[in-house]
Chain A
Amino acid sequence: MTILRNLRFALNSAWQSFWRNLAVSLAAVVSITLILILAGVNLLVGHAFSQVLDGFRDKVSVMSINVADDTPLTSVYAFQQQLQGDPRVATVRFVTKEEALAEFVRDPNNAVLSQQIQGNPLDAKLEVRVRSLNDVAAIDSMARQWPGVDPTDPTNYQGEFVTRMLQLSQWLGFAGIGLMAILVIVSVVIVMNTIRTAVYHRRKEIEVMKLVGATEWFVRGPFVLEGIMTGVIAAAIALSLLVISYPPAVSRFSADITFIPLTYDPTFISSLARDLLAGGALLGALGSYIGVRRFVRL
């Protein structure tokens, strides 16, 4: 009961304080909104990129090991067994020369080329799906040491490309985290200063509160709530703007840059909403907590 009454008191004070310093409060809301939009865009771009990356990853993690024509079938089976036993390998499929040719001919992209093919120039191959992209290189070098591999065209592994992509995704991850860290710091500082203004306006009340026996949390409560209010209002505005502009932005992007398969993902909206609202509330709480720390201490 006492807790409810204290909460009511804190909510009242926070609300009044928010309106009393409306200009400062709104400035904070606008700043935090912009920051959260940046953060949201960062999240969306990160999500889109990982969507695209997942597509690439799927393709790259399947590697073909070309089998030399004169390799005995027993040797191929033995190597297939060995690969299957390897913990880094998910599946291994043996594709005979005939199957390889049939697959090649079936692909409409090869229509013209398959007209001109004489005999069967294609190798039999082992299609290896590797569990982690990081292990593709190791499997590749293992395959190259296998005596049965086609020495002229051992595998379709494009080491360079895979390494580059791994690096790119890593760097993008770091950049995203770095950007987020900066945004967090900036918004905490903004909330801190807003709350300092509120503290300044209510310094007399804080003094009296302490003298009549308020606990530190009682003094702190209204300010933390005001911070949370600022953060959540900003998050709600940022979220609506992002939700409105996300689908047209995606369709515009995929129309302009067709080789990157970006699609609209409605399921991401709910996780974005959760992240932004929780993030806004947390930033507000943290900023105000730090902002009043010195003034609350008994």
Chain B
Amino acid sequence: MLVGPSRLELSELSGRLSYTARDLAQRARRRLTSQQKTQLMVLTPDFTARPVISFQHVWKRYPTGTEALRDVNLVVPEGDFVFLVGPSGAGKSTLVRLLIREEKPTKGKIFVEGVELGRMKRRQLPFYRRKVGLVFQDFKLLPNLTIYENVAFALRVHGQPDAFIRTRVAEALDTVGLSGKELTYPANLSGGEQQRVAIARALVHAPSMIIADEPTGNLDPATAWEIMQLFMRINARGATVVMATHNREIVDLLRRRVVAIDAGQIARDDRSGRYHDDSSKSQIRAQ
């Protein structure tokens, strides 16, 4: 994930958890025709590659009887950036919870990196979660820990050695632009800064996938934009990003893949879409 010698060190330590932009570019080059090679190289997600995430006819009904997801089919290739949009109560958070196996689907299958989540043993679940970085609307920082310890927390939970933790936390805080705030406590930071800490914590173990549920929901527009830039940077370095969001301005500005959910169903899946359906202007439709 992060550049420099530590990347090597990490892949030695914890296997291949992340994809660099270079990996993706190489793959993209391989499938280009000679004619295409003369065109400008653009880094795009590789749809022919093995999908990182795949939902197959997924239904989710809560014990209360609410049908939160209905027959959801979704394929996310490596390195993709997906916005999940839709009105409140549409089922975005439910999709996220299924993706991190906080909930199990009532029907259907979810594959992540070729493994079916429903068949994963409880014993294996922690190791799956270690491949994922999570960011939430409410940050979920621990108020009694310093910024450093909050970011280090994920690695401590994984049982990593102190020296390794020091390097990784320094890099992660540098990535989110919070070097120097190590000894501060979350309460003394602004909302945007707190979310940066949360992002640093989600990055620090170099996950191949970042999943965010309304990460800018509590932030003012300017701050939200900064946070979004951060996610774009992380995605450019190779991580797959799935983000549920309400933020129309940002979605419309970035023109990334938009999966619109309405009443538990996928209503629209645009390669470079807008928050609201706008068929006349949409360039590519992916189905």
Residues of A near any B CB (own CB < 8 A): 1-3, 5-6, 9, 204-205, 207-216, 218, 297-298
Whose C-beta in chain A lies nearest to the C-beta of B128? A213
Residues of A within 8 A of B126 (CB): 213-216, 218, 298
**Total A-B contacts with CB atoms under 8 angstroms apart:** 55
Whose C-beta in chain B lies nearest to the C-beta of A298? B125
User: Is B70 in contact with chain A by the CB < 8 A criterion?
Assistant: no
Whose C-beta in chain B lies nearest to the C-beta of A9? B156
B157/A204 in contact, CB under 8 A: no
B129-148 contacts to A (CB < 8 Å) = 129-130, 134, 140, 142-143
The verdict on A213 contacting B130 (CB below 8 Å), with A9-B156, A218-B157 known, is yes
Whose C-beta in chain B lies nearest to the C-beta of A218? B157
B111-138 contacts to A (CB < 8 Å) = 122-123, 125-130, 134
Which of B153, B158, B161 is the one whose CB lies under 8 Å from A208? B153
Residues of A within 8 A of B159 (CB): 2-3, 5-6, 218
User: Is B201 in contact with chain A by the CB < 8 A criterion?
Assistant: yes
A5-B159, A6-B159, A213-B158 known; 20 new pairs, CB 8 Å cut-off, are A1-B161, A208-B153, A211-B129, A211-B134, A211-B140, A212-B130, A212-B153, A212-B158, A212-B201, A212-B205, A213-B127, A213-B129, A213-B157, A214-B157, A215-B123, A215-B126, A218-B126, A218-B159, A297-B122, A298-B122
User: Is B170 in contact with chain A by the CB < 8 A criterion?
Assistant: no
A204 to B161, CA, bound (A): 24
Q: Is the interface of A mostly helix, strand, loop or mixed?
A: helix
CB distance from B100 to the nearest CB of A (A): 7
A212/B161 in contact, CB under 8 A: no
CB distance from B141 to the nearest CB of A (A): 8
User: Is B154 in contact with chain A by the CB < 8 A criterion?
Assistant: yes
B142/A208 in contact, CB under 8 A: yes
Residues of A within 8 A of B201 (CB): 212
A23 to B128, CA, bound (A): 39
Residues of B within 8 A of A298 (CB): 122, 125-126
Whose C-beta in chain A lies nearest to the C-beta of B134? A211
A6 to B156, CA, bound (A): 8
Which of B123, B125, B143, B154 is the one whose CB lies under 8 Å from A212? B154
- For this complex, 26 residue pairs linking A to B, each with C-beta atoms less than 8 Å apart, are A2-B159, A5-B159, A6-B159, A204-B142, A204-B143, A205-B142, A207-B140, A208-B140, A208-B142, A209-B153, A209-B157, A211-B100, A211-B129, A211-B134, A212-B130, A212-B158, A213-B126, A213-B127, A213-B128, A213-B154, A213-B205, A215-B123, A216-B122, A216-B126, A297-B122, A298-B122
The verdict on A212 contacting B129 (CB below 8 Å), with A1-B161, A6-B159, A218-B157 known, is yes
Whose C-beta in chain B lies nearest to the C-beta of A7? B159
CB distance from B147 to the nearest CB of A (A): 14
Q: Mark B167-211, 1 if CB is under 8 A from A, else 0.
A: 000000000000000000000000000000000010001000000
CB distance from B234 to the nearest CB of A (A): 17
Residues of B within 8 A of A211 (CB): 100, 129, 134, 140
B246-279 contacts to A (CB < 8 Å) = none
A59 to B54, CA, bound (A): 82
A212 to B129, CA, bound (A): 6
CB distance from B146 to the nearest CB of A (A): 14
Which of A5, A9, A213 is the one whose CB lies under 8 Å from B161? A5
CB distance from A292 to the nearest CB of B (A): 15
CB distance from B273 to the nearest CB of A (A): 29
Q: Mark B203-237, 1 if CB is under 8 A from A, else 0.
A: 00100000000000000000000000000000000
